[in-house]
Amino acid sequence: MQDANARFPITARILILRQFLWGAAFYGTYVLLTKFFLFELNYSEADTIMMMGAFGAVGPVFSAIGGFVADRYIGSFRAVYIGYTIYTIGFFLLGIGAGSLNVPMSIFAIALIGYARGLSATSPTVLLGNSYSETNRDAFQQGLTVNYSINNLGSFSSKYLFPFMLAYMAYQGNFFIASALMSLTLILFVVFRKRFTAVGNDIDRRAVSMKTWAAFVAGSVVMLGLVYWVFANLDAGKYLLYALGACAILYFIYEITKATPAYKYKMCGVLIMIFIMISFYFYYGQMLTSMNIYAINLMGEQILGFIPIKPESNAAFNPLWCFILGGPVIFVYGWLEKKGFSPSIPTKFSAAFVFSAIAFALLGLSTSFVGEDGKIAADWILWVHFFQSLAELIVGALGAGFIFEMVPRYLSAFAIGLRSVALSLSGILAAVISTKIALPKDQAITPEIIEGVYASYFYNLAMLAVVMAVVTLILSKVISNLVNKGEALEKEAASQDMAANH
């Protein structure tokens, strides 16, 4: 399109607005689900942790399949608007389930949301990438960062406000608001359909056969059934998620064997990056499992002594810091580049592990400062999220950007889905391990429990993060060598083609 060389093409701006609406709807719902299952549906702490881990993991692990379907069968734009339609229905049904405390309907609703996330998660990045021309890739990386920041703004707004709105409209009303926000994205898709189709893949610009649609519907029913089964059978469901993640990675390895020599080196670098991302996002997964349960049980309800906050809203600190720190982090990157120092993306992950170590060390330290009311100051959780958010922001969407640049275009949506697979595997692993701090119903929280359960757990996570920082720094050298070899082979092949043409 004619503005594809602009810093922010029109289509990119629309996609960024869509990201705000999605972030507000999805994360506003997400922040309420822990207390909804724990207190309204009467789940135990362990089952609630597993439900949140599964909810966070299901969409990402199925996103590799969704990306594959978008690449090969229905197109990236179709995958997004079909997925967002199902999101809208899922949030609406969750509101109905909340109104009647209907457990099967609530599980079915979040199964729809999980399926929608799996189908549509990777395609917006593809659409955003295609909004920029081939010679405007630096602007694309900036667009990814802005998109990530706007997502955090929407996430913060809803994570902070939705718990307060419970007093006025209960869970049902909040879930209906999420459905309304998603319906606004559908309006955008209808109004700007031609623009989205233009930046979609080739399949978006041609008709899809009835045979393909029939296969898609049948496959969707199977996927939805699997997602529902995972939520209804959490102990066994986690093994299905592990298996699906492993299958996605094995398929990527299969594609490596078929790739050109140059892409083989690059894709091997991506494979190592997947391992690093699984390890890093394990800490991200702690925020909505162990950290969230800890905050609900022990966090006070004022920040800095005067700003009201609900304990379940502690997750809002993460997008708040990400939004605030986005500009400064970009400034630091620019300053380093001017000084001739441009760390690789894997090296940035190593630095991120250091900040995660600081975050969880602070979280462990907070257990020594329980007040007379049996609570810790919310400020502790605020600063824990500062360091964890800084860690997240250092890598941000760069993992997706790195993968997008390292794989053949015909694998772009699927390969970006591998980042989500890493997020899924780390999320369910985080949930499984977080159940170690789950307490029985009506268990009194004593100083012995705080010290023996919470403190030791968080300090162990901090030490593990230090180890991973060192391992990642070593692996960053390996990835750099693989990418350099791949690029050297590409230049060699290009030179040979030029010589042959002359």
Q: Mind listing the domains of the chain with CATH numbers?
A: 10-501 (1.20.1250.20)
Task: Say which range, 55-69, 119-133, 183-197, 388-402, has the weakest mean pLDDT.
Answer: 388-402
Kindly state the tokens that stand for 201.
Answer: 């893949």
Compute φ and ψ for 151, nearest 5 degrees.
Answer: -60, -40
What average pLDDT does the segment 390-409 reach?
74
**Residue 5 pLDDT > 70, yes or no?**
no
pLDDT cut 90: percent of the chain above it: 21
Residue type, 364: G
pLDDT at 291: 87
Helices (H), 287-377: 290-298, 317-338, 345-366
**Residue 1 pLDDT > 60, yes or no?**
no
pLDDT at 497: 66
**Residue 330 pLDDT > 90, yes or no?**
no
**Residue 215 pLDDT > 60, yes or no?**
yes
- Residue 57's alpha-carbon distances to 70, 322, 391, in angstroms, are 20, 22, 20
Q: Can you state the angle between helices 137-191 and 10-35, rounded to 10 degrees?
A: 80
**Nearest in space to 442 (alpha carbons), one of 39, 171, 47, 163:** 39
**Banded model confidence at residue 440, pLDDT cuts 50, 70, 90:** confident
Residue type, 206: R
Kindly state the tokens that stand for 394.
Answer: 């250092």
What average pLDDT does the segment 191-205 reach?
84
pLDDT per position as a tens digit, 58-81: 877 777 788 888 888 888 888 998
401/397 Cα distance (integer angstroms): 6
**Banded model confidence at residue 396, pLDDT cuts 50, 70, 90:** low
Q: Can you state the angle between helices 45-69 and 290-298, rounded to 10 degrees?
A: 140
78/63 Cα distance (integer angstroms): 14
What DSSP string describes 272-315? HHHHHHHHHHHHHHHTTTHHHHHHHHHB-SEETTTEE--GGGGG
For 56, the enclosing helix (H) or strand (E) is: helix 45-69
Task: Say which range, 159-173, 213-227, 386-400, 408-422, has the weakest mean pLDDT.
Answer: 408-422
pLDDT per position as a tens digit, 227-250: 899 888 888 888 888 887 888 888
DSSP secondary structure code for residue 308 in this structure: E
**Banded model confidence at residue 397, pLDDT cuts 50, 70, 90:** low
What average pLDDT does the segment 158-172 reach?
88
207: left (phi over 0), alpha (psi -120 to 50) or beta: beta
What average pLDDT does the segment 16-45 reach?
89
pLDDT at 136: 64
98/316 Cα distance (integer angstroms): 22
**Three state DSSP letters for 416-477:** HHHHHHHHHHHHHHHHHHHHHHCCCCCCCCCHHHHHHHHHHHHHHHHHHHHHHHHHHHHHHH
**Nearest in space to 158 (alpha carbons), one of 263, 21, 300:** 21
pLDDT at 86: 94
49/231 Cα distance (integer angstroms): 12
**Residue 289 pLDDT > 70, yes or no?**
yes
269: left (phi over 0), alpha (psi -120 to 50) or beta: alpha
500/477 Cα distance (integer angstroms): 35
Residue 377 Cα to chain centre, angstroms: 28
pLDDT per position as a tens digit, 485-496: 877 877 777 677
33/48 Cα distance (integer angstroms): 9
122/412 Cα distance (integer angstroms): 9
Q: Is 376 helix (H, G, I), strand (E, B) or coil?
A: strand
**Nearest in space to 475 (alpha carbons), one of 287, 254, 278, 341:** 278
Which residues are within 8 A (CB) of 279 and not within 5 positions of it... i.e. 6 or more apart?
353, 426, 468, 472
323/44 Cα distance (integer angstroms): 34
345/160 Cα distance (integer angstroms): 31
For 307, the enclosing helix (H) or strand (E) is: strand 307-308
Q: Of the ranges 85-99, 246-260, 312-326, 441-455, which is most confident?
A: 85-99
Mean pLDDT of the chain: 84
| Beta-bridge partner residues of 308 | 302
Task: Say which range, 27-36, 130-139, 213-222, 300-309, has the weakest mean pLDDT.
Answer: 130-139
- Judged on CB neighbours under 10 Å (0-12, 13-18, 19+), 475 is buried
Q: Of the ranges 100-114, 237-251, 407-421, 468-482, which is most confident?
A: 100-114
